[in-house]
Amino acid sequence: MSVTAIATATSAAIGSFRTRRSTNGVSRFKMSIRSSFVSMAAAPMLTKLQQDCATPLPVLRNVASSMSDDIRAGLAVDGGSDLKMILSYVDSLPTGDEKGLFYALDLGGTNFRVLRVELGGKDKRVIAIESDQVSIPQELMSATSEELFDFIASALANFANKGGNFPGKKGEIGFTFSFPVKQTSIDSGILIKWTKGFAVSGTAGKDVVACLNEAMDRKGIDMRVSALVNDTVATLAGARYWDDDVMVAVILGTGTNACYVERMDCIPKLQGEFSPSGRTIVNLEWGAFSKGLPLTVFDRDMDAASINPGEQIFEKTISGMYLGEIARRALLHMAEEGSLFGKSVPEKLSMPFVLGTPDLSTMQQDGTEDLHTVGSVLYNVAGVESDLSSRKIVLEVCDTIVKRAARLAGAGIVGILQKIEEDTEDAIFGKRTVVAMDGGLYERYPQYRRYLKEAVAELLGPETSQNIVIEHSKDGSGIGAALLAATNSKYGRNL
């Protein structure tokens, strides 16, 4: 809804208020005046936000082109661009022949999962999956390395004790570790830095597999990590297990990242170290991308107040951890400078991250005439009293932030596809190509999904976009990690 439409709706509401009287006979005229003042004062602020967040086609094309350029620069030499372009050491993907019982540990954000997957080969594929999800206590996100990994190992031990015997051999784990790692082999990698709000001490510069193995030894767990993978790499492997056309995987959840299948002869920094397949999965760590992004004062203020100012700008613009906070900052500004919610500003609205991205999604699904759900969320989460006029503006703020995020994510996807297409003509755009998507933001936010797909279609055009399938790969990263553990099993695939 446009600002003009909101003002019109408010005027109509004012007219109706003037004909009514309260039960005690006091005119509602004052209420109508306040609604009018709120709308008039906040309207230019909303317009400014919409202008600053605008993502017309030229902006999207520039982002896609810049993403392609950064991919090439990062493949040429380490440190060549904002994108790390980390080699995954996954040179062969699951074939369907894998058999046996394998575990996966998926550490990707504020929650982690442990999974047990039974594989039955080509005929039976995935026979059974069991899983548990564990929330990481807030204090452990800034604790020591030993404290965090001991907590993870304990949860893994509790889960493993429920079943799954490994007579004469160690249990094998695919470890999905969704933070920037300098991979040194399929089963080792050095942590570059924590992201997604983690600030664990004593891990940066260390092998995260060794950290987990040592914690498992301390807890008496007879298991080993046979594959260390990023969540996007695991998602790609899990999706490719079922569909050979999968070339790209993207995670859009608490944080965000992307990876894709690359020809080894297109990676200059490899210096001729090719595997028999001639292809490998490359992890972009695209959250660090920063070129051509339309940013607001609220983005810059949030970044300045973060634990990693100046870093992970793409992630802070498009991922689930941050969208609610950007909206909160915009609403707080409107409340303070435009009296959006009346003369007083609720104290809770001043609390960083009090408004979450799931709250934005809940409000945007409100189909009631009086936007009752929007009012309930504002009151319950931020202590805000609101009328219909202010609720409509809140929805416009939510939509503006989410639309920008999703369209920029779509432009990033097109940037990856364009890079692959430039090196292998018609390998992408001339046939069916699948982009596997996972993450709670993509899965649970309908408007985000729609805006992302619309941006991809706009950039590629109607004919080419028909060949690009954007497909949800639910729980792909967990299953994919177990599959890569099987592919790289030291006991062979047939257990």
**Rounded distance, CA 178 to CA 65, Å?**
26
Buried b (16+ CB within 10 A) or exposed e, 155-180: bbbebbeeeeebeeeebbbbbbbbbb
For residues 211 and 150, the answer to whether their CB atoms sit within 8 Å is no
For residues 216 and 73, the answer to whether their CB atoms sit within 8 Å is no
DSSP H helical segments within 77-201, as ranges? 121-124, 145-160
Which residues, listed in sequence order, are joined to residue 72 by a DSSP beta bridge? none
For residue 79, count CB atoms less than 10 angstroms from its CB and return exposed for 0-12, middle for 13-18, buried for 19 or more: exposed
Q: Which of 82, 187, 231, 399 is catalytic?
A: 231
Q: Which of 84, 99, 196, 316 is catalytic?
A: 196
**Rounded distance, CA 72 to CA 266, Å?**
9
Q: How many CB atoms lie within 10 A of CB 361?
A: 21
**Residue 207 catalytic?**
no
**Residue 231 catalytic?**
yes
Which residues, listed in sequence order, are joined to residue 250 by a DSSP beta bridge? 258, 437
**Rounded distance, CA 376 to CA 385, Å?**
9
279-283 vs 223-229, strand pairing mode: unpaired
Q: Who's near 457: CB < 8 A, 6+ residues apart?
A: 465
Residues tagged active-site:
196, 231
